[in-house]
């Protein structure tokens, strides 16, 4: 029995030591080898011409973040309390752990179901370039182009 306690204590100490080796301590910045930078000539500006073939409003929905929120925490606490009421000894401990995990999952799912998705609208302009390439450009506000307009594409920007 004494050997088991000693073994548990040594295992816990080894795990803590391994985890603390991965931590960043305040004031200690990682050191990297010095890098040499070389002057780089700017890439020549490429100019293409084309015609607007489509302008459309695109709506996208983004689901709420996948992080753990208050629903998971509350669900875990409630699940742990309910699980602790079941069984005795080791069975009670297992039921408590299962209750915490199950409650956290259920609470997180309920919270995500209550949070509406975020809707984003963008304007997508499709351009058929003179060289045959088709490109799209996204804008947050309605652009000043219409289907059939002749445009210039320079440095990944669209100009009328």
Domain residue extents for the chain: 46-63+118-160, 65-116
Give the position of tokens 């499709």.
126
pLDDT in tens, 69-120: 777 777 777 777 777 777 777 777 777 777 777 777 777 777 776 767 788 8
Q: How far apart are the C-alpha atoms of 71 and 115, rounded to whole Å?
A: 11
Q: How far apart are the C-alpha atoms of 32 and 35, rounded to whole Å?
A: 9
Give the position of tokens 């509406």.
116
Using DSSP's 3-state secondary structure scheme, residue 118 falls into strand
Cβ–Cβ under 8 Å, residues 64 and 72: no
pLDDT in tens, 21-68: 555 545 545 555 556 666 776 666 688 999 999 999 998 877 666 666
Q: Show the DSSP H helices in 41-87 as ranges.
A: 70-84
């Amino acid at each position: 029995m004494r050997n088991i306690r000693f073994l548990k204590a040594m295992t816990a100490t080894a795990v803590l030591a391994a985890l603390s080796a991965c931590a960043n301590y305040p004031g200690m910045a990682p050191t990297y080898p010095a890098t040499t930078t070389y002057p780089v000539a700017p890439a020549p500006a490429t100019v293409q011409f084309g015609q607007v073939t489509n302008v459309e409003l695109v709506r996208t929905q983004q689901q709420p973040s996948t992080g753990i929120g208050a629903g998971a925490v509350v669900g875990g606490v409630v699940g742990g309390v309910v699980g602790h009421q079941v069984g005795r000894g080791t069975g009670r401990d297992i039921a408590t752990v299962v209750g915490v995990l199950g409650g956290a999952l259920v609470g997180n799912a309920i919270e995500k179901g209550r949070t509406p998705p975020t809707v984003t609208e963008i304007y997508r302009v499709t351009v058929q370039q003179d060289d045959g390439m088709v490109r799209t450009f996204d804008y947050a506000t309605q652009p000043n182009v219409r289907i059939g307009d002749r445009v210039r594409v320079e440095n990944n920007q669209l100009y009328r």
